[in-house]
């Protein structure tokens, strides 16, 4: 009884995805199995290969479902913890980061337009001498597609060009960059501290470009009031330059840092940004 209870407790505590299922299967197991079976039963070749094809597509479906489940679980974790906790989470098991990004790419493949491409276009229309910081860069697509000097920042670095840290506390010096980008990356519950860090590293008159999932700024569905968010950013020392709600999937909020910061000393009231939970497909 006691053992059963403690087993249940252990099971309940286990929050990490079971990595065994997809990765422990030998990569070509279904193919190998098919060959042996065909050699033994040449007469059944066509029916056996079709059933094997069926089982391999079933297996692929199951793998995809598991991968999707892992992605959604990690995604939810990132939206409901602080940046520091997210950093510790990935430090403990960096493979989770790859799992997250495989799922993220899958989700993005269904979006008609990617916000990162809009930001790339925005940069290409301006001088390549602008220095950029990409907060929460993911696979560093931004840096790979522009001529500008880009400081790519994320929790895990799979590429030597990516600075791995919690973006509320980067190694960048003050007033270093002309453009700070947050493309779908305001994930942590302490997101305001990421924006404060961006404000610190931005030069006066520098740009703050934010692209976020639209539902997070839909007050009719539990999302934040975009005006309240915008007001909070402005109180930090910015002026609003663009509010674009025309895309179905994301909003674009661009700001310009003021030449001189005139703080009124009042504490800024940041709206809560609800997690972006992706649906099962």
**Residues at the contact surface with ligand SAH, assessed by CB under 6 A:** 78, 83, 86, 104, 116, 136-138, 141, 153-155, 166-167, 183-185, 187-188
How near is the Cβ of 119 to ligand SAH at its closest, in Å?
Answer: 8
H-state helical runs in the chain: 2-13, 20-24, 29-40, 45-79, 83-92, 95-108, 115-124, 141-145, 191-201, 226-235
Q: By C-beta, is 153 or 273 nearer to ligand SAH?
A: 153
Cβ count near 101 (within 10 Å): 18
Residue 244, C-beta contacts closer than 8 angstroms, at least 6 positions apart: 251, 252, 253
Q: Which among 124, 136, 145, 115 is positioned nearest to 251, based on CA atoms?
A: 115
How near is the Cβ of 122 to ligand SAH at its closest, in Å?
Answer: 13
Q: By C-beta, is 34 or 130 nearer to ligand SAH?
A: 130
Q: By C-beta, is 178 or 212 nearer to ligand SAH?
A: 212
Q: By C-beta, is 34 or 166 nearer to ligand SAH?
A: 166
How near is the Cβ of 86 to ligand SAH at its closest, in Å?
Answer: 5
Distance CA 162, CA 164 (A): 6
How near is the Cβ of 117 to ligand SAH at its closest, in Å?
Answer: 9
């Amino acid at each position: 009884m006691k053992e059963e209870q403690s087993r249940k407790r252990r099971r309940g505590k286990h929050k990490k995805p079971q990595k065994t299922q997809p990765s422990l299967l030998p990569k070509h197991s279904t193919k190998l199995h098919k060959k042996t079976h065909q050699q033994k039963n040449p007469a059944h070749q066509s029916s056996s290969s079709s059933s094997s094809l069926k089982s391999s597509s079933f297996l692929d479906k199951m793998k995809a479902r598991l991968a999707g489940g892992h992605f959604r679980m990690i995604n939810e974790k990132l939206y409901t913890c602080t940046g520091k906790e997210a950093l510790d989470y990935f430090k403990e098991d960096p493979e989770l980061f790859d799992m997250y990004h495989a799922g993220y790419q899958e989700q993005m493949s269904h979006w008609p337009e990617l916000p990162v491409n809009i930001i790339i276009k925005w940069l290409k229309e301006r001088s390549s001498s602008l220095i950029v910081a990409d907060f929460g860069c993911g696979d560093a697509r931004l840096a790979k597609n522009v001529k500008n000097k880009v400081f790519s920042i994320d929790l895990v670095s799979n590429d030597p060009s990516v600075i791995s840290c919690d973006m509320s506390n980067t190694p960048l010096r003050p007033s270093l960059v002309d453009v700070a980008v947050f493309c779908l990356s305001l994930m942590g519950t302490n997101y305001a501290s990421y924006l404060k860090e961006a404000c610190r590293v931005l030069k006066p008159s520098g740009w703050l470009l934010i692209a976020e999932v639209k539902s997070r700024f839909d007050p009719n569905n539990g999302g934040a009031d975009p005006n309240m968010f915008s007001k909070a950013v402005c109180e930090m020392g910015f002026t609003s330059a663009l509010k674009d709600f025309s895309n179905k999937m994301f909003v674009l909020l661009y700001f310009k840092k003021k030449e001189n910061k005139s703080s009124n000393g009042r504490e800024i009231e940041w709206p809560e940004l609800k997690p972006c939970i992706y649906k099962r497909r």
